[in-house]
A = this chain, B = another copy of it.
Amino acid sequence: MEPRQGAQAIRRALAVLRILAAGREDGVPLAEVVRTTGLTRPTVHRIVHVLIEEGIVERHERTGRYAIGNQVPELALARPRPSRLLIAANPSLQRASAAIGDTLFLTVRTGNDTLCVDRRIGVYPIQVLSIEVGARRPLGVSSAGVAILAAMPAQEARKIVAANEKRFEAYRTDAATVLGEVTAARRLGYGMREIGLVQGTKSISTWIKTPDGQPAAAMTVSAVRTRLGPRREQEVTEILLREARIIEQAIGG
């Protein structure tokens, strides 16, 4: 059922776009797109330059890097803005942020990536702000990604991790490590990373499932490690788990 054919070029163009999206405003050099997609350079070059002509991709004058162009948000305007999930999660994020005081993230799965779609800054004076709305990472490198992988069938998780293998090295991890973390998260009931993507930070993530049991998102707290000792870890986790269940209800209704 899955593999409808006759559009290799279109699929490839989309794979390229997703890599470019991970580069945000700064963009990505052509060579990196070649490496991570596994396509040949002439192919990537051709695709990228056609997309530039079409306004879907832009090239930075200075750096020569390629990035998502402004026609993409223009196409996005066709959809009603705040998604169902964002609306459903809003009160929970508000409450949890007030109760916890550290930075809160809402992260969704999109294909083989995690995508940060909301962020709430807490009241505590030291906040982990490195991850911004729009940040996109291979599923598995952040605690949110680990949580989302943990919430899906083991076989599917393994498939995704295998597909992302090439991209892991840029984050100094590998498939085996990620799978270990996923197993641990499954046992704990939530995702956790003692060493966050930023030095000296720690993150805790709970997953949010759709009514049909698929993980739809993760809710994450990130803080400097010293602020998340065992005692507080449990407190925070309880809040996150409670709010995650509430969001699931809100999606279901």
Contacts and interface: CB of A to CB of B under 8 A. Distances in A.
Interface of A: 2, 4, 6-7, 9-11, 13-14, 17-18, 20-25, 46-47, 49-51, 53-56, 67-68, 70-81, 83, 108, 110-111, 115, 117, 133-134, 136
Q: Main secondary structure on chain A at its contact with chain B?
A: mixed
Contacts of A71: 110-111
Nearest to A135: B77
B74 A79 contact: no
A77 B47 contact: no
21 contacts: A4-B49, A4-B50, A4-B53, A6-B50, A7-B50, A9-B9, A10-B10, A13-B13, A14-B56, A18-B75, A23-B78, A24-B78, A25-B79, A55-B110, A68-B75, A71-B110, A72-B72, A72-B76, A72-B78, A72-B79, A75-B76
Nearest to A53: B4
A73 B68 contact: no
Contact of A111 (B23, B50, B55, B134): B55
